[in-house]
Amino acid sequence: MKNTMTIFEFHKRYRTEEACLEVIMQMRWPKGFICPKCGHDDGYRLSRKRVIECAVCKHQTSITAGTIFHRTRIPLLNWFWMIFQVAQDKGGASASRLAKQLGMYQWTVWHMLHKIRKAMSVRDNKVTKLAGLIELDEGYFGGIKRKIQVLVMIESGKESSGSLVMEKIFGSMASEPEIKRVVESRVDNESQQHFVTDCAAAHNTLRKMGHKLETHLSTPESAAKNLPWVHRAISLAKRFVLGTYHGVSRKHLQKYLDEFCYRFNRRFKENQIHESLIRACILAAPINYPALSM
């Protein structure tokens, strides 16, 4: 397996805006450009513009249209460096640190990072569906006065864990409707899965959904024995949020959990995570700044 990309390799590959554009074109049209208007497969770049013009109907297609880079005024080199930092650092990359590295306003970098996190979320929601033996429990994030409950599910194995899902709960407690909402969207419900959890009454909704439910008393000893992976994931996520970001608000917690899960779910493919994240940013729809505040 090839090692992860080094800083020297990054700067060698992404030396210019044109190099970044080439990567976007290759990932958007891996089999060659196709005109979205007439379907013809022949086009050419217009000089000094980020567009491809169809050789037949003359329709012009922006290379960055339909990506998070659409209509950005920030150099693509800055975007790609930020993606590289987010992908390579298990602890995450803070807006303040990247702002100093790039000589940019921290507020601008904060918005760019949230766009990248949105791309992570969209990608994981599409490709990550849990199956098999699944540990499920709730974790609490935030201080004593602002505890936020998060539903955590992780595929369980004897030697290692599989994919991870973390979803913020709406309301003060994990109710049956909330558990059902998350399970319906993030678990393979085409067949019966085996859930292991504690004895909380709301977890009975898993049985009602047709899944096998195995429950254990909620004690430290039981958790260590029967739910080892889910509690390890919760501990790592808390360390991630507190260590790099020193805590986050209820409003934006899900974005940081999405970042943690995206990197966690690709931990066995670290050599590919940078390219994977660029592709996620290219395939994600554009998002405006007001939407990031929701």
Domains of the chain: 129-264 (3.30.420.10)
Instruction: Between 197 and 49, name the one with better pLDDT.
Output: 197
Segment 72-82 shows an average pLDDT of 95
Collapse the DSSP code of 166 into the 3-class scheme (helix H, G, I; strand E, B; otherwise coil) and give the result: strand
H-only helix segments in the chain? 7-13, 17-28, 76-88, 95-102, 106-127, 176-186, 205-208, 220-226, 228-245, 253-264, 273-283, 289-292
The pLDDT score that the predictor gives to residue 1 is 43
Residue 144 has pLDDT above 80, yes or no: no
Helix axes 273-283, 253-264, angle to 10 degrees: 130
220: left (phi over 0), alpha (psi -120 to 50) or beta: alpha
Give the number of other Cβ atoms within 10 Å of residue 139's Cβ. Answer: 20
pTM: 0.90
Collapse the DSSP code of 53 into the 3-class scheme (helix H, G, I; strand E, B; otherwise coil) and give the result: strand
**Measured distance CA(181)–CA(124) in Å, rounded:** 16
- Cβ atoms of residues 149 and 137 within 8 Å: no
Nearest C-alpha neighbor of 39 from the set 21, 55, 16:
55
Measured in whole angstroms, how far is the alpha carbon of residue 215 from the centre of its chain? 30
Residue 225 has pLDDT above 90, yes or no: no
3-state helix, strand, coil in the chain (%, to 5): 45, 15, 40
Nearest C-alpha neighbor of 88 from the set 278, 233, 237, 254:
278
38-42, 94-98, 289-293: range with lowest mean pLDDT: 289-293
pLDDT digits (tens, 9 = 90+) for 254-270: 999 999 999 999 998 88
Segment 210-230 shows an average pLDDT of 89
**Measured distance CA(80)–CA(76) in Å, rounded:** 6
Q: Give me the amino acid identity at 86.
A: V
Instruction: Between 213 and 141, name the one with better pLDDT.
Output: 213
18-22, 91-95, 162-166: range with lowest mean pLDDT: 91-95
Segment 146-158 shows an average pLDDT of 91
Confidence category of residue 293, pLDDT binned at 50, 70, 90? low
Q: Can you tell me which residue has the tokens 């201080």?
A: 143
The pLDDT score that the predictor gives to residue 246 is 67
The pLDDT score that the predictor gives to residue 294 is 61
Q: How many CA atoms lie within 13 A of 262 on its CB side?
A: 32
